[in-house]
Amino acid sequence: MYSEINGTRKTLGDVDVFYHDGIYHLFHLVLPNHDYIAHAVSNNCFQWRRVENALFLGHPGSWDDSMLWTIHVTPHPFRKGWWRMFYTGISRRDQGLKQRIGMAESDNLYEWKKAPVHWQDRRSELPYDLPGRTPQPPFEQDLDSPYPLESDPKYYESEIDEGRHWVSFRDPYYFREDGSGWLLASARVNHGPITRRGCVAVMEEVGPGRFEARPPLHHPGLYDDIEVPNLFKLDSEYYLIGSMREDAKIRYWHTRQIGEPWRSYSDNVLLAAGNYAGRICHDDRGI
């Protein structure tokens, strides 16, 4: 259906498909370098055309200057006719051991601008003033910005010296209902057996772009990570989907009401081994 050019060493990573005005927009990682988010479009989901890349690595010193990981595109709830892209980034400064979540905005789905960040380059041994060099830092900075979002120690592993000695906080997924919004992420609780801490973290959007951590949406106590979480509602039931490295399968849980226990059937495999990092998307005909 869609692939990189034959003969190239590049391959597709996690994908996110967004439908708007008769066009399907497919955003995806490019492996193995993870250095940009690619973008392809189609009007039928079978014939695709590559267009402008959506995002690139940050310049050296940025919080996302090492790799870009999974993204999620969603309508902007506070700017009509705009969209937001939440994305995962890692930095060279901490050797990629601490995952964070950033955000970019667009008014046309083709040109994206990263949100200002509060990140500061602490490598004080490097001079900022060099002949011909533009003012630093090499990114738009706002010390009051909430971005990049980081794992909250109140509920989740947040420091490199915990658990596996690297921080899971990736694969954002934004869910909105009845005027309220929540940002989901693959994370790990800060207690319990090391290989069973995988959970779906959740942050509530308490103001435009302002998120506060909440207890895990789901922590089954069975997995090292629950990757690429999805949440959607179908026929009065909420469904939560995640991918598990342990058996390379996509599994799901369901509940009638968020806050009540998640249920699963004896076999909650949605897609068998070999299918991974699945995302639910919607068009004008539904899911």
* Residues pairing with 49 in the sheet: 41
Beta strands in the chain (DSSP E): 11-20, 23-31, 36-42, 49-50, 55-56, 67-75, 83-90, 100-106, 113-114, 170-177, 180-188, 198-207, 210-218, 227-234, 237-244, 249-255, 269-271
Q: Which residue has the tokens 């595109």?
A: 73
Q: How is the chain split into domains, by residue range? A: 11-119+134-227
Q: Which residue has the tokens 């967004």?
A: 18
Contact assessment for residue 277 and residue 228, using Cβ atoms and an 8 Å cutoff: yes
3-state DSSP assignment of residue 46 = coil
| Cα 232 from Cα 29, distance rounded (Å) | 23
Mean pLDDT, contiguous 10-residue spans, the chain (287 residues) = 70 93 96 95 94 96 96 97 98 95 98 94 60 81 94 97 95 96 98 96 97 97 96 94 93 94 89 88 81
Q: What is the pLDDT of residue 124?
A: 47
CATH says 11-119+134-227 is which class?
A: mainly beta
Q: What is the pLDDT of residue 176?
A: 96
Q: What is the pLDDT of residue 132?
A: 83
Q: What is the pLDDT of residue 8?
A: 67
